[in-house]
Every structure is written in C-alpha cells, then in structure tokens.
Structure 1
Amino acid sequence: MKNKKFLPSAFVLYLTYFVHGIGCSVLGQAVIKESLAGQWGYSDLAAGIGAVTMVSASLGLGRLITLPFSGPLSDKLGRRPSTIIGIICYAIFFFGIAFSPNMTVAYIAAIFGGAANSFLDTGVIPACVEILEPRSSLATMGTKFFISVAQLLLPFMLGFIAANNMSYNTILIVTGIAILVVGVLTLFAPLPKSEKTTDGEKQPGLIANIKSSKFTIESIALIIIGFTCTATFQLWLNCAQTFAKDLAGMADPSIMQTYYSSGSLLAIVVTAVLVNKIKGVRFLLVYPAVTLVTLIAVLMFPSEGLCLIGAALVGYSAGAVILQLVTATCNDLFPKIKGTITSIVMIMSSLSNYTILTLAGTMDSSSIMMMNIVITAIGVLLALFVNLRYSRLVGSNN
C-alpha cells in the first residue's frame, strides 16, 4: 500500500457509505413503509406499501439518469467533486422523503437519492481504490462493510424511535444532517491525485470510452452480473419482510434486517481474508449458488426460523460483496477508465433496481420470491461462464 497517509481520508469517504447503508434500506423496512403509506394518505395499506416499493425503484432511475456522466466527470475533475455532488443529492433525498406529502414528491426525492448513489460510486470507490492500491477488492469491500454496519444498526435505531414515541421521519432527518457533516469533512480531506487528462485536453465521455475499450463476451457477462446480483439483494431487502409476514406468519419481520446485516459483515471479514489467496471472480460463482439454494428453501418451506436463517445466508452470500467484487474485477480489467467502468457496472445495477422493483410493486410475495430465484439462477450461469473463461478474459485486456 503506497498511500498510507491518505487512510484517514479513506475513512471519511467510507462514512458516506454508512449513510448510504441507511438510505438504500430504510424504505424496505416494514414500519417505514406503513408510516409513509399513512403520511401519503393511503387508506389501503397494501396499496401504500406497493407505492413505497415504487419509490424505492426510483432510486434506480436516479442512478440510470446520472451514471452515464458521473463516471467520466469523476475521471475528468477528480474524485472529490463527484463525492460532494453525491452528498448534496443524498441530503435532498433524506429531507425530501421525511417531509414528502405524497408519493410524487417522495418519488422525485428518491431520484436524487439514486443520483447520490451514482456520484458516490464513481467518486468514493475509485478514490479508495487509488488509496488502497493494489488491494482493489479490499477497497471496494470497505464500502460494503460500512453499508452493512449501518444496516445492522438500523433496526435498533427504529426500535429506539418507537420506544420514545418519536416519528419515524426522525431517522431520515438525522441522517440528512449527518451526511452534510460528512460533506464538510470531505471538503478538507486530502486525496491522492487521480489519473485524469491535462488542462485543456478533452476527456472522452462514456460512449467514447466504451468504443475505445476492448470488451469481450466474457467481460460483458461479468458486467451483466451487476444486474443479476443487484436484483437478488434488492428484492430481498425490499420484499422479504413482507414475504415473512404474509407467508411465514412473522409478527415482527424487521429482525430479519439484523440477521441479514450480520451475515453481510461476516462475509466481508471472511472474504477480505480469502480474497488475498483466491481470485475474487471465484466468489462470483460460489456465493450466488449459496443464495440460490437458500431462496428455493425459503420459498418451499416458509417458516419464521428458516426466514431468519435465510436472511443471514442471503446477507452473507448476496448482500455483502458480489457487486463490489464485480466492480473491483472490472476496475482491474480496465485500469485506465476506472470511473467509467464503475459507471457501466452501476448502470446495470441501477437498471436492475428500477425495473425489478417496479415490477415487484405489482406482484404478490411468493411471485416476487420466484422471480428472485430465476434471476439468481441466471447470475449463477453467467458466473460459471466467466469462471470457465477467466484466463481469456484477463489475457484479452492486457
């Protein structure tokens, strides 16, 4: 590691992902869904919950809108401006959802939340990769570590709010303030110089960078895994609690979030150790295969105990490191366009978030679980193909 002096800055950058951990999962919490449904005036609770799922989908829309230019912008101007833009957008998201009078306002605020995610992805991830070089996989897993810590604490935060008879919007407001504080710290945090064009030289855009890069069938399959793995954990995060309540009879399914986050944290620790000995691409096959078996078991034998075990296993095998490992592997394959290649992977992730959750908002719990199984199975097949031809994948990009 050649940039040890920037480690405190990496910690500050990772704090944005602690906030992101709350932002990407808060709308999936059963109590938040019910609270927002009432806030927006829905008399039919089921319809209100579906509306919240639709709002969650617009996070993906926000990412889709901004990712085509957030990556090249990060490569051109540097990582700090991209990160600051993301922080401002996230503040708009949290305050917008907290004070939203209806679904329309919340939908627009969530688009800003998606934009925040894309600017953080293309600012923070490349910056941390540059700080922690050559441990790119470890750098990207660091983002998931902070996400998982936040998700682990989220049920306890909600419990504290409920115990003190406070509005659930409190967590949104406090988190909005917290991201602004992190933004101030980011303004003054020293960062290594990223590779970008000299003054006056035109920086290629996303399409130009794609055209100038050599993509193979294997690398395209790898990028598509960004779609399938996102669908797997987003469907679980946003819909599994409803499944557990409707079909497994769980009175308080929010505890599943704790099991999910615990599994995620364990996966980060274990994978961080193993990734130094085993190629990151190998995990892209093994972990989704575990998820696939887990999803099938939960659908076929729904029970409170199996839902809790399933939450931990899905958190470990799907929610922790797959998207981060896909991103790290692509960064290794295309080192000259880190910001752009991160954008490409995250575009696939965002497309998955928007389309799959929008579709899920119109389906019942068991149908959503079945859809998750099919998508995860496709991801396993793609990962098998990539692993079988990985040597060609590396050779074609050298």
Structure 2
Amino acid sequence: MKNKYMPTAISLYLNYFIHGIGVIILAQNMEALAQHWQTTTGGVAVVISSLGIGRLIVLLVSGFLSDKFGRKPFVVLGVVTYLLFFAGILLSPSITVAYVFGILAGIANSFLDSGTYPALMEMFPDSKGTANVIIKAFISVGQFGLPLFVSFLVAGNYWYGWSFIFCIVVLVVNLLFMLAAGKFPVANQDAKVAAKEEGKTVQSESKGSLWFDGTLFILYGYVSQATFYLVSQWLSQYGAKVAGMGDASSRALISYYSVGSIVCVLVTAALAKRAVKEIQFLGIYTLLSFLSLLLMYLVPTSLMCSIMSFVVGFSAAGGVMQLGLTVMSTFFPQGKGTITGAFYTAGSIASFTIPLVTGMMSTNLANIFLFDVIIALIGFVLAVLITVRYYHLFGKNSQKEVTIDHDTNR
C-alpha cells in the first residue's frame, strides 16, 4: 500500500470495472435496445459483434505505440473512447449508427489494454502477474453488479439508460483524477536491469513449432474467448426463454457467472503461489467448461442453470485465456509482444464472429447453447494437445519456465 502508484493503480482497476459492465451492457438491455432501434434481438447481437471489430482495428499496433509514447495517453484515450460508446449507444437512432459506436467500444478496450497492462507491470515489478490478474476480478465485479442493477430498473419500470449514465459518470470522475493526479512510471524503464537483478534465467530459444504449436495456441485463443463470450451474451436470454426463469432470476445468472470467475481468480492465484503450474489448470478448466455447458443444454432447469452458471464462470471466464497466453510464452519466450498480439487478435476475431453466428440462430436459443457446447469441446481437445506438447518439449520438471513468464498474464 506504500507504493506511490497505488492511487493510479486503483483508478486503472476502476476502468476495468466499467469495462466489465460495457462488455455485457448491450446484452443485458437487449430487449429495450431492440425496441428502441426497431429491430430484433438478433439485430442487437450484430451490434455486439462490432466490439470485436474495434479491437481488431488497433490491437496489434496500440501496444507498440504505448511503448513509444507512454502508458498514460493510451489509458486516457481508452476512457474517452468508452465515454463516446456509452453516450453514443443512448443517442443512436438505429443499429447502423449503434454499430459504429460499438466499434468504438472495441477500440477503447484495446487502448486500455495497451496502456494498463504494461503500466501495472511497471508499477509493481515484483508482483506483475498478480497485478494483472486483479484486472480480471474487477471485470467480474462489474459483470456481477450490472444484471442486479438492470433488474432493479426493470422491476421499477425505470429507463434502461440509467445503466449507461452510471458508467458515464464513473468514467468522467475517473478521467478527471487521471488527468490531474495520475502518476505513471516511464515506459520500459530499467526492465533489463530488473531482470538481471532478480537473477532469472529465461529460456533463450523457442522450443515450440511455430506452425504446429503456434496454430494450436491461436485456435485456443479463439475458442477460449468464444466459449465465455457466447455464454456471457446469451445466458440471461437462455434462462428466461429455455429454462422458463423469471426476469430477475434469469438476469441473476450472469451474476452467478461473474461470482464464479472471481472465485477462480482467487483460487488460481493462491494455487500458483504454491507452485501449481499453469499447464495443469488448462485441461481441467476447459473440461469443466464443456461439462457445465453440456448439463445446461441437456437439463435446462432453473436450478441447473443457476449452479452451472457459477461453474462455467469459474472455468471459462476466470482467467483461462491468461493461462493459455502464459503457457504460450513458455513455448515462444523471445516474442512475448508478438504472441500476445496474435493470441488476443484470435480472441477479438471470436468477439466479432460469434455474435454474428448466434444472431442468425437467435430464434432457437437451445441451438446457441449447443453451439457453445461444441466450441467448449474443441477447446478441451486443444488443451489436451497443448498439454501433451508441453510435457513432450519441457518434461515434468519445468516449473521454472512457467514461473518466470508469469508477467505475461493479460
């Protein structure tokens, strides 16, 4: 707590609390937005897909520019762009205009990522992995709270736009603090010196096959993002229309899902400190994702959906992508920036394509969840292949490589 950057770090985390809300706010207000834009829920799903396009536009270059111009400008850019998104959605008269503002949300996410992740690693050089994993917890808290707030608005017959106004107010206050008092370290200062002082031995050559292992990880990046992104967007609708749950209880499924992801962050962080390897989590979490989604599809009852929402949140949204990236950096230790861009670009493609596909399937929500079951099964197969390759290349006594690359978590 004595770290001079702590106030700035809290401000950075608060941005991701709002980001967590921003990821699901369109889905949580799907019916109201569809009526406002005179379209269907499938039309709203198309707008949701625009967030993935926004990330694709700037993701590969924003990190490079952040290294060149510093972290603060990109955090500020991210907040300003998010403000345009929240205000723009409220003012959009049609899905065409809303689509443009959805793209801005994806751009805002990329700007925040490129400024925040490296900034936190530079603020807390002795606990980089933990500093980044906490971001996931703040995202999950936002995703936990929004459905409760929206349920309150619906129950009281209040205007749905208050959820957007809340985000705008928080971001404006946070932006004013960032501009006035936000302190950031100089980008990349003493990075090499710190590594030498810590005496860490990093594998100097890539052991993985660029084409085979690289393809496995890129596919895993797509599938892991697709699995939890799909369920986060359609879980409430599935609970209401397939499981026959009421409005408040169906919206609460997202809250159970978010609690599961928060618990997973805590469990994973605690076990990682006890020398449990990231590779050991990968297969277990993806298997749990598949089984929980399968049970929700086969037994669509209120009780089953409530329990499995927590489990799928734990296994699919609690940091499994971060674990995948960390393991990938063990295979390719020389190009962490490159693999990070490639891995998350695959995830962004999922954010773009999955809503388009599910939008076309919106008349049958059971089929949407069956689609997610298939995706999760593919993810499990990929995780098994990655695990086999890992132990083939590094053997069972390879804790060092994973531990030294903990700072690549995103």
Normalising TM by the smaller chain, what interval? 0.7 to 0.9
Aligned to 2:78: 86
Aligned to 2:408: none
Q: Which runs of 5+ in 1 are unaligned?
A: 43-47, 198-211
Equivalent pair of 1:78/1:196 in contact (CA under 8 Å):
no
1:268 Cα deviation from its structure 2 partner? 1.4
Q: Distance in 2 between matches of 1:215 and 1:7?
A: 40
Q: Structure 2 matches for 1:361-380, cutoff 5 A?
A: 361-363=359-361, 364-380=364-380
Q: Distance in 2 between matches of 1:371 and 1:309?
A: 20
Aligned to 2:232: 237
Q: Secondary structure at 2:5's aligned position in 1? A: helix
For residue 175 of structure 2, the aligned residue among 172, 183, 204 is: 183
1:330 Cα deviation from its structure 2 partner? 4.9
Aligned to 2:193: none
Aligned to 1:207: none
- Over 3 Å counting, the alpha-carbon distance change for 1:164 and 1:295 in structure 2 is closer
Aligned to 1:345: 343
Q: Secondary structure at 2:360's aligned position in 1? A: coil
Q: Distance in 2 between matches of 1:4 and 1:215?
A: 41
Q: Distance in 1 between matches of 2:333 and 2:14?
A: 25
- The yes-or-no answer on 1:108 pairing with 2:100 is yes
TM-score, scaled to structure 2? 0.84
1:75 Cα deviation from its structure 2 partner? 2.1
Q: Percent identity?
A: 36
Equivalent pair of 1:137/1:329 in contact (CA under 8 Å):
no
- The yes-or-no answer on 1:225 pairing with 2:220 is yes
- The yes-or-no answer on 1:192 pairing with 2:185 is yes
1:5 Cα deviation from its structure 2 partner? 3.3
Q: Which runs of 5+ in 2 are unaligned?
A: 191-204, 406-410
Equivalent pair of 1:126/1:339 in contact (CA under 8 Å):
no
Aligned to 1:162: 154
Equivalent pair of 1:140/1:327 in contact (CA under 8 Å):
no
Task: Give CA deviations for 1:98-119 in whole Å, capped at 9, x if unaligned.
Answer: 1111111111100000111111
- Over 3 Å counting, the alpha-carbon distance change for 1:19 and 1:235 in structure 2 is same
Which letter does structure 1 place at the counterpart of 2:280?
R
Q: Secondary structure at 1:361's aligned position in 2? A: helix
Which letter does structure 2 place at the counterpart of 1:113?
A
Q: Distance in 1 between matches of 2:382 and 2:123?
A: 31
Q: Distance in 1 between matches of 2:4 and 2:215?
A: 36
Which letter does structure 2 place at the counterpart of 1:179?
L
Equivalent pair of 2:122/2:187 in contact (CA under 8 Å):
yes
Equivalent pair of 1:118/1:343 in contact (CA under 8 Å):
no
Which letter does structure 2 place at the counterpart of 1:17?
Y
Q: Matched residue pairs, number?
A: 376
Equivalent pair of 1:63/1:350 in contact (CA under 8 Å):
yes
- Over 3 Å counting, the alpha-carbon distance change for 1:137 and 1:225 in structure 2 is farther
Q: Structure 2 matches for 1:376-395, cutoff 5 A?
A: 376-390=376-390, 392=393
1:215 Cα deviation from its structure 2 partner? 6.5
1:196 Cα deviation from its structure 2 partner? 7.7
Equivalent pair of 1:12/1:186 in contact (CA under 8 Å):
yes
Task: Give CA deviations for 1:348-390 in whole Å, capped at 9, x if unaligned.
Answer: 1110011111111001212211221121122112222222232
Q: Distance in 2 between matches of 1:291 and 1:61?
A: 26
Q: Distance in 1 between matches of 2:105 and 2:269?
A: 29
1:343 Cα deviation from its structure 2 partner? 2.7
- Over 3 Å counting, the alpha-carbon distance change for 1:124 and 1:218 in structure 2 is same
1:284 Cα deviation from its structure 2 partner? 2.0
Q: Structure 2 matches for 1:286-305, cutoff 5 A?
A: 286-305=284-303
Two-structure CA RMSD over aligned residues (Å)? 2.7
- Over 3 Å counting, the alpha-carbon distance change for 1:218 and 1:137 in structure 2 is farther
For residue 30 of structure 2, the aligned residue among 30, 33, 48 is: 33
Q: Distance in 2 between matches of 1:229 and 1:263?
A: 16
Equivalent pair of 1:34/1:49 in contact (CA under 8 Å):
yes
TM-score, scaled to structure 1? 0.87
Q: Structure 2 matches for 1:54-133, cutoff 5 A?
A: 54-133=46-125
1:165 Cα deviation from its structure 2 partner? 3.7
- Over 3 Å counting, the alpha-carbon distance change for 1:60 and 1:310 in structure 2 is same
Which letter does structure 2 place at the counterpart of 1:368?
I
Q: Distance in 2 between matches of 1:127 and 1:220?
A: 29
My pick for the range that moved more, 332-341 or 173-182, is 332-341
- The yes-or-no answer on 1:250 pairing with 2:267 is no
Q: Distance in 1 between matches of 2:11 and 2:226?
A: 29
- The yes-or-no answer on 1:15 pairing with 2:14 is yes
For residue 285 of structure 1, the aligned residue among 283, 286, 289 is: 283
Q: Secondary structure at 1:257's aligned position in 2? A: helix
Q: Secondary structure at 1:250's aligned position in 2? A: coil
Q: Secondary structure at 1:353's aligned position in 2? A: helix
Q: Secondary structure at 2:258's aligned position in 1? A: helix
